Amino acid sequence: MPGSTQLRLGRRQFLAGTCELAAGASLKDRAPGQARREAVQRYDFQGEIRRYRKIDAHNHLLSAPPRAVIEAADRLEIERLAISIPQGDQPGEFRASNDRVLKAMAEFPQRFLGQCFVNPAYPREAIEELLRCIGRGMVGLGELYTQVKIDDPLCYPLIEKCIELRIPILMHVRGDLGLLRKGHRLEAPATTSTPDDLAAIGRRYPEAIVIHAHIGGGGDWEYMCKRLRDVPSVYVDTSGSVTDEGMIEFAVRHLGASRLLFATDENFESGVGKILAADLTEEERRMIFRENFNRILKKRENRAD
Amino acid sequence: MDKHGVDKCVIANINGVFYKNTQPANEELFRAIKPYRHRFIPFAVINPTYADWEHDLDVCRGGLEMSGVRLYPQYHDYEVTHPACIELVNAAREYKMAVAFSLRLVDGRQRSWLDVDRQLSLDDIASVVDKAPQARFIVLHALIGREKPATVTTLERADLVFDTIYGSGCGVAGPVAYDLAAAIRKYGKNRFAFGTAAPFRDYVSPFLRIEVMKEADDDTKRLIWAGNAQRILGIGRQGLAEALVETRDGGHGDNRSPEG
């Protein structure tokens, strides 16, 4: 298990306990000078990377070409990656983004799982594009971005179509202070979905497979998990650049390991690292790294193992 | 640290961010690490706009045996080019202490309503370097790639290291990250020092960033794990000798840390 319990200090514990907690950290209860002579089983980073099969539930072709993404995935032993290009407000533009994803899927058919991006502000074109992409082998809708909030009625036809197709909907969500509380600076468009919006849509469509993107993607992850605790149909992916100590354990405690999906959102090392570092059971790690998303894929018998 | 192969780490007391008079935080840290002094490299938190900081710095360097100074201008409410800040940086240089600036403590997107809404940038660091070019700098929570061209030129001239908290070693970097290999090509292999931001961040991801980086040769990785930090801290390989004799048992092929 990576990290001792002494190292698992959350920000709150640290602030409450003053620096003694941090400074004493892993050497607590040992006599000075004695600690370093004890036999310590070293953490095998490469071995731990190889130990778990992984499907990345949320990634993109944005900052790097397909081959570079595959090479990055290889370094972290990620077998398959759900990818999208959430760019383009107009129908012609989002079709072009999806065409690039389809091309990458054709180039690496065993590695890329396509996700279809649309702008729900164009309901007819969005449905047509979703059907086109699913027909060509994509596995889900998303990452829907900031054009329309997920609980806007414009999204209802798309969600109902996804229920019919038994495919997941990956939704970009932010829990920034500026979005959650009036009067604070907005860092994202006002049309960005919040955890409150996800909870609302999860209650409206409990049969939908809705995925709350990146609890580590910026925003108050404690708020996110607590808001979704009693909305069991909503999954949460673990991606994002935030790797706060205790975040994954908090999510497991409030949502359960069966609702968490391993993902990187282009943050490969921290995507894997935060799951390896978390105080989880072997079974929980396997569920999060691969089994939960594979189970979602099986609902359509589409590209699951 | 033992389990993950870290021999020593740079440490500062976070309470110093919240105290108006930061010196009690430094005294707390001194007491806390005393039994394990050979594993920690303490940095003093100093607020140069507070009374008698000069005396505090002197005590920190002398009686409290601190190796550097960590500054939090955004929390202590001053600009990095405030004359007192520049005076402190120059005083630290006289004491042969490194100066660390933390560009942020919390991801601004998830800050509390009680927290400050301000982060530093590499452009801010360059403005300090311009006014105190002889000092030794450590830039914590550095995000490479968004700085102005003039900033690059200034930082290239400085005796400075960036931490690797936001570095990506796998060749793909998301929006809140930088490609470590590209950054090394830009600034040179002597400019990056392994860091973890523990205990606030998970204690595995920082290691993976270096482990998976195929673009760096062994020499470069040794510099990132320890060599560059040793240089900037002025402790050299001898400074780690005591710890290494008792802790090294293979593992990473070379000693790790000190962390930034």
Q: Which residue of B has its CA nearest to A46?
A: B211
Contact across the interface for A265 and B208, Cβ inside 8 Å = no
The ipTM, to two decimals, is 0.91
Please report the domains of chain A, with CATH numbers, ordered by start residue. Answer: 8-43 (no CATH), 51-298 (3.20.20.140)
Is the pLDDT assigned to residue A16 strictly greater than 70? no
Residues B141-189: tens digit of each pLDDT: 999 999 999 999 999 999 999 999 999 999 999 999 999 999 999 999 9
Rg (CA), chain A: 20
- Kindly report the average pLDDT of chain A as a whole number: 88
Is the pLDDT assigned to residue B251 strictly greater than 90? no
| Residue B153 burial (10 A CB sphere; 0-12, 13-18, 19+) | exposed
**Option in A43, A242, A269 nearest B107 (CB):** A242
Is the pLDDT assigned to residue A11 strictly greater than 80? no
The residues that bridge with B193 in the sheet, in sequence order, are B163
Report CA-CA distances (Å) from B200 to A22, B11, B47, B115. 10, 13, 22, 16
| CB of A185 less than 8 A from some CB of B | yes
| CB of B76 less than 8 A from some CB of A | no
Which phi and psi angles does A222 have, rounded to 5°?
Answer: -70, -40
Is the pLDDT assigned to residue B192 strictly greater than 80? yes
The predicted pLDDT at position A36 comes to 46
Rg (CA), chain B: 17
In angstroms, the first-to-last Cα distance of chain A is 28
- Kindly report the average pLDDT of chain B as a whole number: 91
Nearest chain B CA: its distance from A127 CA (Å): 29
| CB of A269 less than 8 A from some CB of B | yes
Nearest chain B CA: its distance from A41 CA (Å): 6
pTM of structure: 0.90
Is the pLDDT assigned to residue B236 strictly greater than 80? no
| CB of A149 less than 8 A from some CB of B | no
Nearest chain B CA: its distance from A21 CA (Å): 8
